[in-house]
Structure 1
Amino acid sequence: MSDNDSKKELFKKNLQERHSEAKTIRKIVFIIFIILLLAISGIIGGGYLYIKSALEPVDPTNKEPIEVTIPIGSSPTAIARILEEHEVVKNAKVFRYYTKFKNESGFQAGEYTLNQSMNFDEIIESLKSGIFMGEPVFKMVIPEGKQLEEIATIIAEQTGYTQEEVINKMDDTEYVRGLISKYPSILTEEILNEDIKHPLEGYLFPATYPFYEIKPSIESIVETMLDQSEKILVKYTGLMEGNKYIDSTHKLLTMASLIEEEATAQTDRETISSVFYNRLDSDMPLQTDPTVLYALGEHKKRVLYDHLAVNSPYNTYKIKGLTPGPIANAGESSLSAALNPAETDYLYFLAAPTGEVYYSKTLEEHNAKKAQYITNQQE
């Protein structure tokens, strides 16, 4: 055989091998494609079946009456949760999304007789014809600027639980993870950061809450407050766009809590906010005393130089930027100020014993005002 024939034979053999390899690769790719297609179909199909099941009555044959009470002021989220707890619907979140999709509203507080054979539309119609409820058993007032431990004390005093029981429930990781699932618009994994003292710190909105049971569960108390937080925060989250320091609800509540704790009745919160923003822009620590007190875990009339040395991620004299999380709850005026700072050149402010707040552009000016309004008045 000539060299030329040998080369032709070798070329032909290599070509056949490449065809064979390509055919094998095509088979492998096809098999992988089929497996992925089946997996995706399974996921989609499983999701469809899950939603379809959740939309159906809990038990079409069970018409045994279930008494359900919807308190005054209940949000759609709270109503959905109550229905799930009473096993009138299978999934609170699916019911809530269904009412949103159909743009249903006008649910009434009242006492209802429902059953497990009712579909979503029947339940919704029933909830629009509520019987007005009587006076609440008690009202719980949660003031602005309260820390979680103080809120736990208020709850304990009005319900008979101990403060420890309330705090333990609020700090329970499993319970908090459940809340993150229930309130995804306001609660995220950020609140489980190991540096954070209490996951729900700053998230229990200050308001007056009516309760219609002598001793409601700790869960229902907490979730009633979170319902209010969700209702209020939706007005502010859209204003965070373009803010380089506040890009999440967690950071919004953190900034608002710092403003709230520094504010007095006579304070312009927008100006305090401007000082914090100016310091962040200048890469300066915020140096706000309430964060030191929070780090120390105790109330003091004055913050001394020794206190400023406390080793804590909350000590804004030692760390730059915002604290790991809120240090108290904040009212709407502080939430608004956190997103709408005044336009100033101030880098310092000083709260005098009279409640007046004095602002300065330089450290020299600030120290002069401190000598005038603090030191001299204490002598």
Structure 2
Amino acid sequence: MDNGSKKQEMFAKMQEKKSEVKIVRKIVAITAIVFVLIIGIGGLIGYNYVKGALKPLDPDATKTIAVEVPIGSGLSSISTLLEEKGVIKDARVFKYYAKFKNESQFQAGNYDLTQAMTFDELIESLKTGKVYRKPVFTMTIPEGLTLEQIGQIIEKKTPYTQQEFMDLVTSDTFVQQMMANYPELVTEAVLADNIRYDLEGYLYPATYSYYEEKPSLEAIVEEMVAAMNNVVKNYSDVLAEKQMSVHQLLTFASLLEEEATAQTDRETIASVFYNRINTDMPLQTDPTVLYALGDHKDRVLYEDLEVDNAYNTYKNKGLPPGPIAGAGKTSIEATLNPSDTEYFYFLADKEGVNHFSKTYDEHLQKVEKYLRQAE
């Protein structure tokens, strides 16, 4: 092959390569344009969807929609409830809008809402707790009460006796019904040996409103269990992270609730209990002794500490078999977010102020200073 032919062949190959490069460039350019278009279209669709979800479903709507927000409901559950009831288009959009506005403290109650309400109007309504019905009566269950004490309030405020209440909450049939209705809250753990009452600590302390003169006893109790379920499910991720069961959470929180005084620091008391558990020390908390005795006296005697009962944390290490009272949200959150301390002891003085110590000798000095000298 002469030089001319070689040059022509090389020229042809160069032209072919240039052609291939052009084609590749076109393909890349077209692909990039398509990708950008897809992103743009997707973004536009998403923008239009969110923009539409922010608007009232029907600006001209006049029909009211009854919405009952249970006690203990969080922002996520309320958002889902509003979507399920057809008040809003998208629960996630409402949730993030409320978070953006830094609004999350909503009131439980019965609301008369419409599809014409804006997000701001819905938020304002949920914040103020305006109800569309006036309750026939209300009943307040304070924190730190046992089932027997709750039964006394039931007897005073409703047509049912304390015994009827206790018969219901200790009924195997009713307990099984609660386990079926609230499986993430009432688990097999309540059926363990040595537990005095299966549902002890599972009725949420709060003020409840009733809109009929004689609601069924089952409905009254289930509302309290449902309220506890609504509170506890907000901490499911934290419980999973800490590898703590709901039963352990309510048991621990009940100890904090019973140890609490008007000025107590629950987070620091929680740290004392955790420090003791982690070093295999008994908790030695007096309220468990009183629960073991079935007595509500003001002072625990040395002879009481010897009671042979699974709830006595002077004789048994770790948590008692189950809750000893109903814990409120503050104690539940303190259980999950204890202070980081090296304290192993604490005592409350005559004014209810807690004093914490790292060593037993230091604790004895504070006992002498704040309790014995004060007598």
Output aligned runs, 1:196-345, within 5 Å. Answer: 196-243=195-242, 247-345=244-342
For the residue of structure 2 that corresponds to 1:369, the secondary structure is: helix
User: Which residue is 1:153 aligned to?
Assistant: 152
Q: Does the alignment pair 1:167 with 2:166? A: yes
Output aligned runs, 1:19-168, within 5 Å. Answer: 72-74=68-70, 104-105=84-85, 109=110, 133-168=132-167
For the residue of structure 2 that corresponds to 1:235, the secondary structure is: helix
Are 1:204 and 1:225, in contact at CA under 8 Å, matched by a contact in 2? yes
- Distance in 2 between the 1:271 and 1:109 partners? 37
Are 1:72 and 1:133, in contact at CA under 8 Å, matched by a contact in 2? no
Flag structure 2 segments of 5+ consecutive residues without an equivalent. 1-65, 74-79, 88-108, 113-130
- Distance in 2 between the 1:212 and 1:242 partners? 40
Are 2:70 and 2:227, in contact at CA under 8 Å, matched by a contact in 1? no
Aligned sequence identity (%): 50
Are 1:269 and 1:337, in contact at CA under 8 Å, matched by a contact in 2? yes
Q: Does the alignment pair 1:358 with 2:350? A: no
For the residue of structure 1 that corresponds to 2:234, the secondary structure is: coil
- Distance in 2 between the 1:318 and 1:335 partners? 25
Q: CA RMSD in A?
A: 2.5
Q: Which segment drifts farther, 369-378 or 315-324?
A: 369-378
- Distance in 2 between the 1:251 and 1:196 partners? 13
**Cα offset for 1:72?**
4.4
Q: Which amino acid aligns with 1:192?
A: L
- Superposed CA offset, 1:321-346 (max 9, x none): 00100001111111011011101000
Q: Which runs of 4+ in 1 moved over 3 A?
A: 70-75, 100-103, 105-111
User: Which residue is 1:47 aligned to?
Assistant: none
**Cα offset for 1:296?**
0.5
**Cα offset for 1:133?**
4.6
Mark the CA change 1:217 to 1:348 in structure 2 (over 3 Å): closer, same or farther: same
**Cα offset for 1:110?**
8.3
- Distance in 2 between the 1:243 and 1:326 partners? 19
For the residue of structure 2 that corresponds to 1:335, the secondary structure is: helix
Mark the CA change 1:227 to 1:101 in structure 2 (over 3 Å): closer, same or farther: closer
- Superposed CA offset, 1:153-186 (max 9, x none): 1111111211011001000011101110001110
Q: Which amino acid aligns with 2:312?
A: N
- Distance in 1 between the 2:258 and 2:167 partners? 25
Are 1:255 and 1:322, in contact at CA under 8 Å, matched by a contact in 2? yes
Are 1:71 and 1:133, in contact at CA under 8 Å, matched by a contact in 2? no
Are 2:141 and 2:206, in contact at CA under 8 Å, matched by a contact in 1? yes
Are 1:280 and 1:321, in contact at CA under 8 Å, matched by a contact in 2? yes
Are 1:348 and 1:362, in contact at CA under 8 Å, matched by a contact in 2? yes
Q: Which amino acid aligns with 2:336?
A: L
**Cα offset for 1:105?**
3.7
Normalised by the length of structure 2, the TM-score is: 0.67
**Cα offset for 1:134?**
2.6
User: Which residue is 1:38 aligned to?
Assistant: none
Q: Which amino acid aligns with 1:260?
A: E
**Cα offset for 1:190?**
1.1
- Distance in 1 between the 2:223 and 2:277 partners? 35
- Distance in 2 between the 1:371 and 1:283 partners? 27
- Superposed CA offset, 1:201-239 (max 9, x none): 111111110011112111000111112111111112221
Normalised by the length of structure 1, the TM-score is: 0.66
**Cα offset for 1:300?**
1.4
For the residue of structure 2 that corresponds to 1:377, the secondary structure is: coil
Are 2:347 and 2:356, in contact at CA under 8 Å, matched by a contact in 1? yes
Q: Which segment drifts farther, 337-346 or 133-142?
A: 133-142
User: Which residue is 2:346 aligned to?
Assistant: 349
- Distance in 2 between the 1:291 and 1:362 partners? 23
Equivalent pairs counted in the alignment come to 266
Q: Which amino acid aligns with 1:377?
A: A
Q: Which amino acid aligns with 1:175?
A: F
Mark the CA change 1:144 to 1:371 in structure 2 (over 3 Å): closer, same or farther: same
Are 1:271 and 1:344, in contact at CA under 8 Å, matched by a contact in 2? yes
Are 1:236 and 1:335, in contact at CA under 8 Å, matched by a contact in 2? no
For the residue of structure 2 that corresponds to 1:314, the secondary structure is: coil
